[in-house]
Structure 1
Amino acid sequence: MGIDLTGRTALVTGATGELGRVMVRTIAACGADVAIHYNSNEGQALELQKEIIATGRRAAIVQADITNLDAIVAMRDKVNAELGHVDIVVANAVIQYGWTSILEQAPEDYRGQFESCVMQSVYLAKAFAPAMIEKQAGRFIGINTECAMQNFETQSAYVAGKRGMDGVYRILAKEIGRHQITVNQVAPGWTISDRDRANGTERNEGYEKSVALKRRGTDQDIANTVAYLASDLAGFITGAYIPVCGGNVMPAI
């Protein structure tokens, strides 16, 4: 039994980022064509596109401001023209900012997290769900975070955005589930990426002590879970928040 996404088209937002690149490669390796979204890093997007095309899959690059509905609709139209209707939407993009206390955090950082977590999710649903409903099939996969359960100091803007995203995804799962569209979230822990490998920072004993598996996960661990949720193997899973963090956080019943 394997993950087979042959004949499907996926969109990954924030596809040029540390986790996004591995998601794109993994989804393509499972047989899907991929729309590679970027905000400003066109060079990385082009390199990734060439890499995917070299494997025999189709790939398109699309630039969009994911906090703007018109930009997302234009992105959808471009993907439709180049690859066809999207079957799998992976909402991975998020605005980066510096973390500090609530008393010191700039108000625009809260707005940025709301726009890039909550409103991106809403706009992607408005743009891509209608075609999925018509097809009576589809996948929405949001990238959340273990931080949404931890609620540590200095995380307030990030946690507020991701918790808002969680609410949107749970309700969306109920609203479009009758059309055989699943809506799930993957919540990475502090994940090893290419940046860590290049800098030799894969290990962090302080963090690892709190992880049940006593190690950090990798970008590939996250991408594997995304590919699984995108596949028919996960056809009866919806409304889920799935931590991929080695047991660092554990949702309770």
Structure 2
Amino acid sequence: MRLDLTGKLALITGATGELGRVIARMLAECGADIVVHYHSNAAKAAELKDEIESIGRRAIAVKADVTKQDSIEQLKQTVEASLGRVDIVVANAVVQYNWTSVLEQPSEDYVSQFDSCVMQSVYLAKAFIPGMIEKKGGRFIGINTECSMQNFPTQSAYVAGKRGMDGVYRVLAKEVGEHQITVNQIAPGWTISEQERTNGMAESEGYIKQVPLKRRGTDQDIANAVAFVASDLASFVTGAYIPVNGGNVMPAI
């Protein structure tokens, strides 16, 4: 038994980012063809597309603004004209900003998080789930965060966006489940990325002390979880918020 995504087409938003690249590679290694979405880094998108094609998968790199519905619709049209209908959506892109206190956080940062967490997911659902309904199956996966459960100082805009996203995913899971479409969220902890491996690890002893597994997770750990919920092995898992953080936060019943 293995994670077999052969014949599936996966869209990863923010695929040129630290985590997005690893998710794209992992799904390709499991057999999926890949839509490499990017916002500004065309060179990295082309490099990732070539890498995926080198292992025998089909790939396309497409630019889009995930906070704009018309841009998502154009993305859909481009993908379907080139590779066909998407089977797996991974909403990974998010707007980056500087974190500070609620009293000091610029109002536009709350708007950017709402747009890139909540509205991105809504636009992606409107664009791609109708095709999944026609195919009688699909996977809709969002990258959330352990911060949604922590609510630490300076996290407010990020947490607000991700908690709003959580509500959309839970409702959507109930609305589209009858079509054998699963809707799940993967919630990483403080993850080790390619950038840290290259430039040096951040001081994390204090964080690790709180983690039951006594280590930070890696980008590959997150990609593994995404591949699982994308696969037929998780065909009866939906509406889930799945922390991948070594037990640092634990949802209660």
Decide: shared fold, TM above 0.5. Answer: yes
- Which letter does structure 2 place at the counterpart of 1:5? L
Aligned twin of 2:208: 208
User: The residue matched to 2:223 in structure 1 has which SS?
Assistant: helix
| Residue 202 of structure 1: how far off its partner (Å) | 5.7
SS at match of 1:123: helix
SS of the aligned residue for 1:81 comes to helix
Corresponding residue number in structure 2 for 1:69: 69
Whether the aligned pair in 2 keeps the contact of 1:87 and 1:138 (CA below 8 Å) is yes
**Structure 2 Cα separation of the partners of residues 250 and 227 of structure 1:** 21
Q: Is the 8 A contact 1:184 1:239 kept in 2?
A: yes
Structure 1 distance, partners of 2:54, 2:37, is 18
The one-letter code of the counterpart of 1:234 is: A
State how far apart, in whole Å, the 1-side matches of 2:106 and 2:21 are: 30
Provide the secondary structure at the position in 2 that maps to 1:220.
helix
Secondary structure of the equivalent of 1:209? helix
Amino acid at match of 2:136: Q
SS in 2 for 1:223: helix
- 1:54-79 deviations in whole A, cap 9, x for unaligned? 00000000100000001001001111
1:173 corresponds to which residue? Answer: 173
* Offset at residue 200 of structure 1 (A): 1.8
Aligned to 1:144: 144
Whole-angstrom distance in 2 between the partners of 1:62 and 1:190: 28
Task: For 1:101 and 1:63, locate their aligned partners in 2 and report how far apart those are by CA, in whole Å.
Answer: 33
Q: TM-score scaled by structure 1?
A: 0.99
How far off its partner does 1:81 sit? 1.0
Deviation at 1:203, TM superposition (A): 5.4
CA distance in 2, matches of 1:200, 1:128: 39
Number of aligned residues: 253
Q: Residue 171 of structure 1 aligns to a residue in which SS?
A: helix
State the shift of 1:12 in Å: 0.1
Q: What's the CA shift for 1:53?
A: 0.4
1:107 matched residue in structure 2: 107
What is residue 238 of structure 1 aligned with on the other side?
Answer: 238
Code of the residue aligned with 2:139 in structure 1: it is: R
Q: Does 1:155 align with 2:158?
A: no
SS for the counterpart of 1:49 is helix
Amino acid at match of 1:177: G
Deviating beyond 4 angstroms after TM superposition, the runs of 4 or more aligned structure 1 residues are none
* Structure 1 residue 34 corresponds to structure 2 residue 34: yes
Distance 2:168 2:203 in 1: 34
Shift of 1:217: 0.3
Q: Identify the residue that residue 8 of structure 2 maps to in structure 1.
A: 8
Give the match for residue 58 of structure 1.
58
What is the letter of the counterpart of residue 79 of structure 1? V
> Could you tell me how far 1:82 is from its partner in structure 2?
1.1
Mapped to 2, the partners of 1:218 and 1:200 lie a distance apart of: 14
Structure 1 unaligned residues grouped into runs of 5+: none
Percent of aligned positions with the same letter in both sequences?
71
Tell me the residue number matched to 1:217. 217
For 2:82 and 2:54, the matched residues in 1 are separated by 17
Calculate the TM-score normalised by the size of structure 2: 0.99
